[in-house]
Structure 1
């Protein structure tokens, strides 16, 4: 249970989420805790008045980045709802679920995954017919993965897929009906669940099964409007899993099939890594010309990324309002400015390194086609790290 002395701690500026000075939020939290203590003293007959102030207190503590204290407030709020629910079970189920969702978030932010998992399991037990179940199931799988319980995470992800399929079938939306509004929404949920399932299959070494699940994900995204990035990402994952499961020609066929859809992307730096991955993947599959085309596309897009990263870094360097935020101390603003510049420079460095790797892959494709002079020129550019190539 929360007590006043627990709030006597410094605020970590990096975790603070408020929009006013942190000391104001601390003061409000102290005042809110005083209100909670008043409601506590009122006794069991006034229990219904306690959850509201506890919820507001937990939100203030979350703003302050004190997730451990916010979790204490949420647990007390949950205990109050359980007591209130006893005379008529289910009357406060909705409020309890809302509190559990918030509590789980605080526990995750605090790195207490076992406790967060227990909360997710309890929520699923009492929340059988509510719309938030899919998100809770996803979090359950994520938490099991973070805890290193990969087989259990796979089982959890598989159960989510099976449940969503059953729901689609019951609603008559499994196939043609997905084109309706309800079918599209249900299909999207199934797509996300299949993506998580494929990741867990891959993690435990069942790569061929992961490829089959990813093929279904790709098919879904190809049928959606404005989904080029999702199509590209799914193709990248599918072709990788097909190659690793010994189905190289299937990987080539699916790449060729989706290729025209990828080329319609504007190409200003987006999907650069995916085009590079496709080039790397196609080269050992004895398709050097297709690998060369993918490698050339990757280099073109990586050049655009380098140019964009440099332009953004120049803009960061030229900003002169970095010390205008009156909420923070000067030392903190200087530290934040230094970190911002370092982060921006690191993005430039990473973009330049990615371009060099793409150039080396392009050179390998050219050598495979016996274009040795062109390959040597590209290799020299990659080795020099010259900035002129990216301008």
Structure 2
């Protein structure tokens, strides 16, 4: 029995979803065990709050400051004073993590966030015994923070990411283009009529799925209300997640527009909701867009976070798999255009299907296991 430890960080949901996909991909492998740990479960509460909540506050309320910091960190040499200070703070607050890594006794480690990769790289540099460490990059570009010495290999979204990594890495380890891991249900075909019946919507009507609270372009409720003002025979499913206030606002709108808006709270079967949809309105997080690609769902991307989400959006636009709306006016225009042009929707869908990698999680595991067997 070989054991793989997957380390994520719950600063944003994408890193955790990628880790969960790797765990799920091991189902049915009788000689492999994959265990997932969130690094922030092994740090003091104050550090957890600072690391996770500060990131969310920066990208949500101070995107220009985040853009500056993102670019600065991508260009700074590893030995810059603020880089040394950041690593020292991280080391002081992650001792319990190293104890957990030792307790797990894994044959290999996969990091879906750069923080554990950086911490383990330091131990490797000091000659400490560490299992082979792989880095699963969860965006369609790679920031310098992901690039750490001593890694066994990198698992990346596409050829351009691999090309950029080879430029950044002095001693090139194995770099495998596997895609970004998504959970197995996103790789399966789902019957549209059955999924629509679960939601209570009409499977024959054009459906717009809104999967964002509207960060960056006003409130989610105002955004959905503007889309509801568009004439035409279409319906909207508005996903509020765990945001109870947003869900309540969607319900108020739905009461005034029956049979046009279906609010939805937190769900563990997003793939079945996507199966009913013709267009998704979403932010371009690495996992969100990979899930849409996996099911062939055309996207209108809104309010990309400066840095990683902007680069994700650029990738999809270059591939012809999405449209971009930088404000509410642009969003309304894009939706009007897609509703009026089924051929445009079909073209975007075909591009999504052409570049998707629904088996990314299993391919990533295969890379790790093959390298481990070859040692």
**Scaled by the length of structure 2, what TM-score is found?**
0.28
Indicate the structure with greater strand content. Answer: 2
| Larger relative contact order (Cα-Cα within 8 Å, sequence gap ≥ 6) | 2
Indicate the structure with greater helix content. Answer: 1
The higher radius of gyration belongs to 1
